[in-house]
């Protein structure tokens, strides 16, 4: 999957991953793919919740060794 | 979803809570207005956003110092960063004019870039009329 925007929030905690996701969505154009990369456990569940609230498309979530990648399409 | 948060307290941890909840709502697509009044107003004075005491276990500043060390260790965003993010995501800030007078605060002491409007209780009521929920912190 080829993201147009990559946002690395590794090591950041609540509410920074959500806030940075929202900023990326504001920057993105319609159809753009955003990859969020991070380690905060709760955010792995909360970013998809925010994606739903914002009416965006959740493309994929992967996690290994505590690092997650979430792909979102605007 | 629209939320109005009355920031009545100027305590460090309570202002943090208001900013974290506010940012969360904005990040999830909602609208937020923070209405600063009474002790909360002191946090809108220039360079004073992080200057409040802890609401519990402040211990003349020692408790707060420990809290700030822990926040740094856990990479928790500072109040300044949270406020900048709140503004960047479109959050609104209203400062209560009547209580500013009570608190002895004039506009030239306030961090004006963070304040959208000065108002009184009528403006708060207008904001809550269109809000789904209100918090009083």
Q: Report the Cα–Cα distance between both ends of chain A, in Å, rounded.
A: 14
* pTM listed for this prediction: 0.94
Domain ranges of chain B: 2-136
Question: What ipTM score was computed for the predicted complex, to two decimals?
Answer: 0.90
**Is A28 part of a structural domain of the chain?**
yes
Catalytic residue ranges of A: 14
Alpha carbons within 13 A on the beta-carbon side of B63: 12
Most B CBs within 10 A among A12, A21, A22, A46, hence the mutation to make, goes to A22
Residues in chain A closer than 8 A to B28 (CB atoms) = 18, 22, 49-50, 53-54
CA distance B137 to B18: 7
Q: Is A50 in CB contact (< 8 Å) with chain B?
A: yes
User: What domain range includes position A39?
Assistant: 5-58
Per-residue pLDDT reduced to its tens digit, B16-65: 999 999 999 999 999 999 999 999 999 999 999 999 999 999 999 999 99
Mean pLDDT of chain A, nearest integer: 97
Number of domains in chain A: 1
**H/E run at residue B14:** helix B12-27
Instruction: Answer yes or no: CATH 3.40.1260.10 is held by domain B2-136.
Output: yes
Handedness of CA B14, B16, B17, B18 (dihedral sign): positive
From chain B, pick out residues whose CB is under 8 angstroms from the CB of A15. Answer: 20, 23-24, 27, 77, 82
3-state secondary structure A5-72: EEEEECCCCCCHHHHHHHHHHHHCCCCCEEEEEECCHHHHHHHHHHHHHCCCEEEEEEEECCEEEEEE
Residue A68 in domain: no
- pLDDT tens sequence across B82-99: 999 999 999 999 999 999
Under the banding of pLDDT at 50, 70 and 90, the label for residue B7 is very high
- Residue A31 resides in a domain: yes
């Amino acid at each position: 999957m080829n993201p147009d925007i990559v946002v690395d929030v590794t090591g950041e905690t609540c509410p920074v991953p959500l806030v940075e996701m929202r900023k990326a969505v504001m920057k993105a154009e319609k159809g753009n793919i955003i990859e969020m990369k991070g380690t905060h456990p709760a955010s792995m569940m909360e970013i998809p919740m925010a994606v739903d609230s914002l009416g965006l498309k959740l493309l994929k979530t992967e996690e290994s060794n505590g690092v997650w990648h979430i792909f979102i399409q605007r | 979803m629209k939320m109005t948060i009355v920031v009545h307290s100027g305590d460090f941890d309570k202002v943090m809570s208001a900013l974290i909840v506010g940012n969360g709502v904005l990040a999830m697509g909602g609208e937020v207005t923070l209405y600063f009044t009474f002790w909360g107003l002191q946090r809108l004075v220039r360079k004073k956003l992080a200057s409040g005491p802890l609401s519990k276990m402040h211990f003349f500043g020692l408790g707060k110092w420990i809290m700030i060390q822990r926040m740094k260790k856990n990479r928790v965003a500072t109040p300044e960063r949270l406020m900048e993010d709140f503004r960047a995501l479109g959050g609104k800030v209203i400062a209560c004019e009547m209580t500013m007078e009570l608190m002895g605060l004039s506009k030239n002491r306030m961090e004006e870039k963070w304040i959208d409007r000065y108002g009184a209780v009528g403006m708060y009521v207008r904001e809550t009329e269109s809000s789904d929920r209100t918090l009083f912190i």
